[in-house]
């Protein structure tokens, strides 16, 4: 943000963090990937200031700028003294980084201390309100009554670009399982993302999965994440999607669910027009998400290529969250880490293992 701050100061353009970025500051939530900025400057001002600006056409982003893998969403021509009111009052909070102060233009501080969310202004777009509610409860310690949104008309869904940004925001939030549960209860999941909804009521063996069906198991994995990374989170969301299209026997209920899951995940992410590299990496992680379980029993010629992949540490993290949310527990994960560490030492790449250790093994 340093370069952008300097550019805005030099141009004399006023700006503030708004919406989720302001709330992240208030609740001291670390957010380093996406920033939402309100500015009194116009699109012309921003285009002059930042020549490589993009224009995504999203409801809350007139312009988009990417710097060092950080995405900045700009809302232009905003009156920072009295901005347009949001449906949920807490989204009206502003934070001014130059002074390090908050501005509360519509007396939202009382609502920030509540637990239940209420719409402050009746929205002309019930679908947009539903999506905001899902994001807010995914990001912060709020809850919302799903019954209040059961009358939303799902015949008119958000466009694909909005759906992709919405799912990405959920995946990079602190509690995506809360938002996804809310979306399932309101009917949004079945209408917009039936690929996810069909994981519901897919029964699993209680000896290994006492936590419930495939969907409940998937939601549980998010509680064991150590990083709100998009690739990791999408892979957790979709790691068992193949079980919904697999039939087997009592002894082997989901044969080849990893291979089928990689195919189904690829189709789903392509439909939402995610970047191709992200799709390929997610499909890779889903295809091999069961491999760490057998890492200590497989010959090296079967595993060497995978363990040299830069994605292998994420594969281990998926395995940790997957096994921790089921009956098996994390012991197999630590055994896989020992095999990986021994391999990296043998290959003279112990420094790379230590990076993985500091990122995923440390609390």
DSSP assignment of 247-292, as one string? ---SSSSSTTHHHHHHHHHHHHHHHTT--HHHHHHHHHHHHTTTGG
- 46-94, pLDDT tens digit by residue? 888 887 888 877 777 888 888 877 889 999 999 999 888 888 989 999 9
Cα distance between residue 98 and residue 2, in whole Å: 11
Which residue reads 């995405």 in tokens?
A: 71
Task: Tell me the HSE value of 87 on the side-chain side, using a 13 A CA sphere.
Answer: 17
Cα distance between residue 37 and residue 147, in whole Å: 32
- In this prediction, the residues of the chain whose per-residue pLDDT falls under 70 are 1-2, 31-32, 121-123, 204-212, 248-255, 327, 357-363
Determine the pLDDT at residue 38: 94
What DSSP state is assigned to residue 98? T
Question: Count of CB atoms within 10 A of residue 40's CB?
Answer: 15
Determine the pLDDT at residue 238: 97
Radius of gyration of the CA atoms of the chain, in A? 22
Determine the pLDDT at residue 345: 86
| 96 three-class SS | strand
**Burial of 72: CB neighbours in 10 Å, binned 0-12, 13-18, 19+:** buried
The gap from C-alpha 307 to its chain's centroid, in whole angstroms, comes to: 26
Whether this prediction's pTM lies above 0.85 is answered by yes
Determine the pLDDT at residue 269: 98
| E strands present in the chain | 15-18, 34-39, 63-67, 70-75, 94-96, 101-103
| 36 backbone dihedrals φ, ψ, rounded to 5° | -110, 120
Q: Which CATH number does 2-112 carry?
A: 3.30.460.10
- 95-118, pLDDT tens digit by residue? 999 899 999 988 888 889 888 887
CA 218 to each of CA 24, 224, 236: distance values in angstroms, whole numbers, following the listed order? 26, 11, 7
Determine the pLDDT at residue 348: 75
Determine the pLDDT at residue 138: 96
Is the distance from CB of 233 to CB of 317 less than 8 angstroms?
no
| 340 backbone dihedrals φ, ψ, rounded to 5° | -65, -45
Taking alpha carbons only, the member of 318, 321, 235, 340 closest to residue 279 is: 235
Taking alpha carbons only, the member of 93, 84, 29 closest to residue 62 is: 84
Interior CA angle at 337 toward 333 and 343, to 5°?
145
Interior CA angle at 222 toward 139 and 280, to 5°?
100
Is the distance from CB of 219 to CB of 175 less than 8 angstroms?
no
- What fold, for 214-361? Hypothetical protein af1432 (1.10.3210)
> Where in the chain are the domains?
2-112, 126-192, 214-361
Does an H or E element contain 112, and which? helix 109-112
| 115 backbone dihedrals φ, ψ, rounded to 5° | -100, -35
């Amino acid at each position: 943000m340093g370069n952008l701050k300097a550019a805005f100061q030099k141009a004399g353009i006023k700006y503030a963090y708004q919406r989720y970025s302001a709330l992240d500051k208030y609740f001291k939530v670390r957010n380093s990937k996406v920033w939402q900025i309100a500015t009194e400057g116009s699109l012309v001002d921003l285009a002059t200031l930042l020549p490589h600006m993009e224009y995504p056409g999203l409801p809350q982003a007139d312009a988009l700028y990417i710097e060092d893998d950080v995405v900045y969403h700009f809302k232009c021509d905003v009156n920072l003294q009295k901005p347009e009111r949001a449906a949920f009052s807490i989204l009206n909070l502003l934070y001014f980084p130059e002074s390090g102060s908050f501005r509360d233009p519509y007396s939202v501080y009382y609502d920030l201390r509540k637990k239940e969310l209420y719409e402050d202004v009746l929205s002309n777009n019930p679908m947009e309100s539903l999506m905001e509610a899902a994001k807010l409860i995914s990001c912060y310690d709020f809850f919302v009554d799903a019954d209040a949104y059961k009358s939303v008309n799902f015949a008119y869904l958000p466009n694909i670009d909005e759906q992709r940004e919405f799912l990405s925001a959920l995946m990079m939030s602190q509690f995506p399982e809360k938002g996804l549960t809310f979306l399932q209860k309101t009917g949004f999941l079945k209408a917009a993302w039936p690929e996810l909804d069909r994981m519901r009521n897919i029964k699993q063996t209680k000896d290994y999965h006492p936590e419930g069906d495939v969907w409940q198991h998937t939601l549980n994995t998010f509680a064991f994440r150590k990083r709100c990374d998009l690739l990791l989170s999408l892979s957790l969301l979709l790691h068992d999607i193949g079980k919904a299209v697999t039939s087997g026997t009592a002894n082997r209920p989901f044969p080849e669910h990893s291979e089928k899951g990689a195919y189904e995940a690829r189709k789903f992410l392509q439909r939402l027009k995610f970047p191709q590299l992200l799709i390929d990496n997610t499909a890779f992680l889903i295809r091999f998400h069961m491999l760490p379980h057998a890492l200590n029993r497989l010959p090296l010629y079967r595993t060497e290529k995978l363990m040299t992949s830069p994605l292998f540490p994420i594969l281990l993290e998926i395995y940790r969250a997957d096994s921790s949310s089921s009956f098996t527990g994390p012991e197999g994960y630590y055994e896989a880490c020992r095999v990986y560490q021994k391999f990296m030492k043998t290959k003279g790449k112990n420094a790379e293992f230590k990076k993985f250790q500091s990122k995923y093994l440390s609390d």
